[in-house]
Amino acid sequence: MSIIKSPKQLLLPFSAALLITALIMAVCLGLGGEPAAILVDGVQVAAVTSESQGEAIISELLTKQSAAVGNEVYFQEDVTVSAEAAAGTKTVSRSDAAELLAANTTLMTHGAAIDVNGQPVVYMSTAKAAENALEYLKKSYLPADSTMTVLDAKFAEKVIVEPTEVKVADISDLNGAKLRLKGEGQTDAPVHVLVVLEKTKTEEVPFKTVYQTDTKLRYGQTETKQEGSPGSREVTIQMVQTNGVETARQEISSNTLVEAVDAIVLQGAVVQTAARSATYVTDAGMIWPTTATRISSYYGERSGGHTGVDIDGDMGDSVWAAKAGTVVSAGYNGSYGNEVIISHGNNLKTRYAHLKSISVSAGDEVEIGQEIGKEGSTGNSTGSHLHFEVLIDGEQVNPLSYIK
């Protein structure tokens, strides 16, 4: 077969030729016909080539907008097509005519308003869209915490969806509606979502410490009679969150799982009794350091000056710390015999000499009234007594300025 076509094969069939003729005629009629006008409230906004083209432009605009909005869109104005354009006006292109039409009309739809306390806050394309926006807003305030049970989610204000005619330009989409209802960019939101939540949790109950006076203990001494231990309870709490912020909290129920056990601490009695006793605390914070009360030699007495006070007593009488402190030294020290020195801070020290026995060691922390040894007569001593000194910066001072 030859690839060169014969002239006969190039002839068009008769029916096809007729169709082309009809099309050419139609185009000629259109171009050559009188222009039509698109009128808005009776005023011409554009001249187009034909009445049918005018109708097409209008219906195309409404169809496109209806699809975009999701609801039937119509003009607020009276839009018509006139078979005759105003004299001397030039026709415009289809797209220019559509733009002129859109610019001179207001598109409307049968949408809905979200009214808050009677005031429209958001316009939506349909009532259904408005309901969805409100649900979306509520959901946005629900907590992510899965241990919380949502009992209720409601609006603090009177919020209703009101079907109404809405300008297409005023319509918000879902996200836009949420932002507007949340008061984006405003000091307060027009709508407040109240979410009521419930949570049940187990929590520790701390134990209490109860102090009891015990006269067998010396002043300042404590003794734990019973160790405390925490308990636990299951508690159900109801909370109200307003736009995501907790505004109320209430304990609904509490169930003790384990009872807490109080700690009981015994305390030495804080009583001021007669001077020269273990319970008489001077302004200097010291107590008399032994049971005996008679002074056999005062500070400064005797040739060369006595460096402390001698408190007469029996061999083996208890000797205790006049004040809490740290034992600096404990042991035999020449003429002092068995001796304990306690530092009380602030360069204040006390010395206890001629002891029969010592019951503390250097470095020990001692409490006020704690026994440190027994009275004796070791070192340069004639008969049992306690030689007691108070030292400031290493210099002996009158102990009776400190103990009474």
Contacts with Zn ion in 285-314 (CB under 5 A)? 310
Site residues (CB under 5 A) for Zn ion, limited to 30-89: none
Asked if 357 and 280 touch (Cβ cutoff 8 Å), the reply is: no
Concatenate the DSSP letters of all residues of 176-227 into one string.
HHHHHHTTTTSSS-SS-EEEEEEEEEEEEEPPPEEEEEETTSPTT-EEEEE-
**Cα–Cα distance for residue pair 374/356, rounded to 1 Å:** 5
Angstrom distance (rounded) from CA 385 to CA 312: 5
Min dist CB 299 to Zn ion, Å, is 9
Residue nearest Zn ion, Cβ-based:
387
Instruction: List beta partners, residue 312.
Output: 385
Contact 192, 243 (CB under 8 A): yes
We find the least distance from the C-beta atom of residue 328 to Zn ion, in angstroms, to be 19
- Whether the Cβ atoms of residue 44 and residue 38 lie closer than 8 Å to each other: yes
Q: For residues 310 and 375, which CB has a smaller minimum distance to Zn ion in the complex?
A: 310
Q: Tell which residue, 46, 47, 35, has the closest CA to residue 102.
A: 46
For Zn ion, the closer of residues 159 and 322 by Cβ is 322
Minimal distance in Å, beta carbon 340 to Zn ion?
15
Axis crossing angle, helix 94-103 with helix 51-69, rounded to the nearest 10: 60
Task: Write out the binding residues for Zn ion, residues 180-219 only, by CB under 5 A.
Answer: none
Nearer to Zn ion, 149 or 335 (CB): 335
CB of 285 to Zn ion, least distance (A): 23
CB of 270 to Zn ion, least distance (A): 32
* CB nearer Zn ion, residue 80 or residue 333: 333
User: For Zn ion, which is the closer residue by CB, 310 or 339?
Assistant: 310
Instruction: Closer to Zn ion by CB, 51 or 310: give it.
Output: 310
CB 104 within 8 A of CB 39: no
Question: Residues 310 to 369: which contact Zn ion by CB under 5 A?
Answer: 310
Cβ distance to Zn ion smaller for residue 163 or 300:
300
Rg (CA), the chain: 52
Considering only the stretches 2-10, 124-132, 355-363, 384-392, report the one whose residues sit in contact with Zn ion under the rule CB under 5 A. Answer: 384-392
Q: Which is nearer to Zn ion, 54 or 289 (CB)?
A: 289
Least distance CB 279 / Zn ion (angstroms): 25
Residue 387 Cβ vs Zn ion, minimum distance, rounded to whole Å: 3
Nearer to Zn ion, 276 or 387 (CB): 387
What letter represents residue 142's amino acid? L
In this chain, which stretch among 23-31, 117-125, 133-141, 381-389 interacts with Zn ion, using CB under 5 A? 381-389
Among the listed residues 349, 387, 399, 403, the single contact to Zn ion using CB under 5 A? 387
Cα distance between residue 331 and residue 329, in whole Å: 7
Count interface residues toward Zn ion (CB under 5 A).
2
For the CB of residue 325, give the shortest distance to Zn ion in the complex, in Å: 21
| Least gap, CB of 318 to Zn ion (angstroms) | 19
- Residue 23 Ramachandran class (φ > 0 left, ψ -120 to 50 alpha, else beta): alpha
Span of 43-51, 148-156, 239-247, 380-388 interacting with Zn ion by CB under 5 A: 380-388
Judged on CB neighbours under 10 Å (0-12, 13-18, 19+), 82 is: middle
Neighbours of 100 (CB within 10 A): 19
Residue with tokens 């909370």: 239
**Closest C-alpha to 143, from 196, 192, 190:** 196
Question: Which residues here bind Zn ion, judged by CB under 5 A?
Answer: 310, 387
